[in-house]
Structure 1
Amino acid sequence: MYLADETWPDLGAYFEDESLAIVPLGSTEQHGPHLPEGTDHIIAEGFATAAAERTGYLRTPTINIGVSPHHRQFHGTMWVEPPVFRDYVESFTRNLAYHGIDRVIFVNAHGGNVQHLREVGRRLRDDNVIYAIEWMWNDSIPELVEELFAQPGPHGGPKETSMIQHLQPELVHDDQLEAARDGGMTSFDPQSVQKHGSRTFYDAIDNTANGVLGDQTDASAAKGEQLFEAASDQLVDLCEWLAAQPFEALMPKDHV
């Protein structure tokens, strides 16, 4: 069920029976010369839509601009400052609580949002308002990602390329896959970009001239479909698990 497509009486019937909502979040930022700037929110919305259709749970509109200042040097990247993002998402989620939702899954496809969504979830839980958790698709199927790709990314790499080739292939510039690989950073190891144990870079461009990492030529729509189906199963299972939990069990424990 998609919230924006429903009438308010129909939504009232949902809120009487259910207490879970699925909130897709992503970003609008550069993803190299081959992928659209909407890559992250397209992926998040794809997963949220699939989970809502399979489970019947409510999906909200997508939050499609996130915390992306580390991509700001590239044309068209949009972002909001972290405190603004946190306050907006918290207000958005409290809005759901007002209507009777008491648990939310943030279906997130942008790494820059993760720590901020965790903080929002803690704020809401500490206030005993709502239980909100962040879900990231590739974190739900790490073994499959490693099996399919020698160099998956993490940004604009073959896993995201494969996903967009599956979800919206018309948006992928397939003729730019080699250029994306050759102009970016093919092999990424977090330790390789540290100095004496310190993460000394702040922006993507500090490590990759065209903004992407990984071997984009290793992508395919078939791999994207495989990833999408496997991660969708994980999200559906998470929805069902969360819906089955007593609300009291999700709230903070008492002081010892």
Structure 2
Amino acid sequence: MYVADQTWPELREYVAEESVALVPLGSTEQHGPHLPLATDHLIAEALAREAADRTSVLCTPTVNVGVSPHHRQFHGTMWVDAPQFRDYVESLTRNLAYHGIDRVVYVNAHGGNAQHLREVGRRLRDDGTMYAIEWMWDESIPDLVSEVFEHNGPHGGPKETAMIQHVAGHLVREDQLEAARDGGLVDLDDSENYMMHGARTFYDAVENSGNGVFGDQTDATAEKGEQLFEAATEQLVKLVEWLDASRFEDLMAPAHLDPQPGSRR
């Protein structure tokens, strides 16, 4: 159920019985010459809406701009600084808690958001407000991604290309797939800047890829995207069902080991 499509009396019925919400998050950043800047937030919203439809839980509007300064050299990339992003997401999530939601899944499609969403989830659990966890679609189906693509690539590669071919095919520049592959980096092992003596020596995508993308984009198809989408949605549905069936008390932080601090005073 998409929250923005509902009336407030309809939502009153929901929060009286349910306590789970999905919050899709992505980015607005370069994804090479073949994919739109909207790639990440389009994927996140499509997955969250589909899982919400299948489980009848709440889905919020999408957070479209994330933590993306590592793509800043490319035209059009937008980002917010990490502290402001964390504070914004935390404030948004506390708003949901005010309305009775006590379990949230951050349906994330941008790697740059992940560690910050984990931090927000810890803040909210540590003060007993709610249980909020980050879910990254490709991390839910790693074996399938590896099976489907020989040269996957962590950004703008065939997995994201296939997903956009499936959910928003009209936005894919199909005539640019070879240019994306040839102007980027197919295999990270071929990069001279990725690792040196055990240290990551780069900060920005452009230091490893001239056009900002990785992997072999010509290996992507809408059919493969549909396969990934269905498998990831299934994993998200299972996560929601587990969360909905769990007792709130069991999701909160475990107590300090005995003896409890101050118990002997």
TM-score w.r.t. length of structure 2? 0.95
Q: Would the aligned equivalents of 1:151 and 1:188 in 2 still touch at CA under 8 Å?
A: no
User: Hey, what does 1:158 align to over in structure 2?
Assistant: 158
Q: Would the aligned equivalents of 2:19 and 2:101 in 1 still touch at CA under 8 Å?
A: yes
Structure 1: give runs of 5+ residues left out of the alignment: none
Deviation at 1:153, TM superposition (A): 1.2
Q: Bigger CA drift: 191-200 or 153-162? A: 191-200
User: Hey, what does 1:139 align to over in structure 2?
Assistant: 139
Q: What residue identity is the alignment partner of 1:199?
A: R
Matches for 1:92-111 after TM superposition, within 5 Å: 92-111=92-111
SS at match of 2:209: coil
User: Hey, what does 1:71 align to over in structure 2?
Assistant: 71
Q: Would the aligned equivalents of 1:24 and 1:61 in 2 still touch at CA under 8 Å?
A: yes
User: Hey, what does 1:210 align to over in structure 2?
Assistant: 211
Q: What residue identity is the alignment partner of 1:195?
A: M
User: Hey, what does 1:62 align to over in structure 2?
Assistant: 62
Q: Distance in 2 between matches of 1:189 and 1:97?
A: 45
User: Hey, what does 1:6 align to over in structure 2?
Assistant: 6
Q: What residue identity is the alignment partner of 2:114?
A: V
User: Hey, what does 2:260 align to over in structure 1?
Assistant: none
Q: What residue identity is the alignment partner of 2:198?
A: G
Q: What residue identity is the alignment partner of 1:217?
A: T
Q: What residue identity is the alignment partner of 1:55?
A: T
Q: What residue identity is the alignment partner of 1:198?
A: A
User: Hey, what does 1:47 align to over in structure 2?
Assistant: 47
User: Hey, what does 1:179 align to over in structure 2?
Assistant: 179
Q: Distance in 2 between matches of 1:161 and 1:136?
A: 16
| Cα shift readout 1:28-84 (whole Å, capped 9, x = no counterpart) | 000000000000000000000100110100000000100000000000000000000
Q: Distance in 2 between matches of 1:100 and 1:155?
A: 36
SS at match of 2:89: helix
Q: What residue identity is the alignment partner of 2:249?
A: E
Q: Distance in 2 between matches of 1:185 and 1:216?
A: 11
Percent sequence identity is 70
Structure 2: give runs of 5+ residues left out of the alignment: 258-265
Q: What residue identity is the alignment partner of 1:11?
A: L
Q: Distance in 1 between matches of 2:146 and 2:175?
A: 25
Q: Distance in 1 between matches of 2:133 and 2:190?
A: 26
Q: Distance in 2 between matches of 1:82 and 1:181?
A: 30
Q: Distance in 2 between matches of 1:93 and 1:234?
A: 22
Across the two proteins, how many residue pairs are aligned to each other? Answer: 256
1:31–1:101 distance in 2 versus 1, CA, 3 Å: same
Q: Would the aligned equivalents of 2:102 and 2:130 in 1 still touch at CA under 8 Å?
A: yes
Matches for 1:163-242 after TM superposition, within 5 Å: 163-189=163-189, 193-242=194-243
| Cα shift readout 1:80-102 (whole Å, capped 9, x = no counterpart) | 00000000000000000000000
Structure 1 consecutive aligned stretches of length 4 or more whose deviation exceeds 3 Å = 189-192
**Is 1:246 aligned to 2:261, yes or no?**
no
Q: Mark the structure with the bigger radius of gyration.
A: 2
Q: Would the aligned equivalents of 1:163 and 1:225 in 2 still touch at CA under 8 Å?
A: yes
Q: Distance in 1 between matches of 2:46 and 2:135?
A: 13
Q: Distance in 1 between matches of 2:131 and 2:196?
A: 38
Q: Distance in 1 between matches of 2:118 and 2:170?
A: 34
1:190–1:134 distance in 2 versus 1, CA, 3 Å: farther
Q: Would the aligned equivalents of 2:21 and 2:59 in 1 still touch at CA under 8 Å?
A: yes
Q: Would the aligned equivalents of 2:126 and 2:253 in 1 still touch at CA under 8 Å?
A: yes
Deviation at 1:236, TM superposition (A): 0.3
Q: What residue identity is the alignment partner of 2:28?
A: T
Q: Would the aligned equivalents of 2:191 and 2:208 in 1 still touch at CA under 8 Å?
A: no
Q: Distance in 1 between matches of 2:188 and 2:139?
A: 17
User: Hey, what does 2:262 align to over in structure 1?
Assistant: none
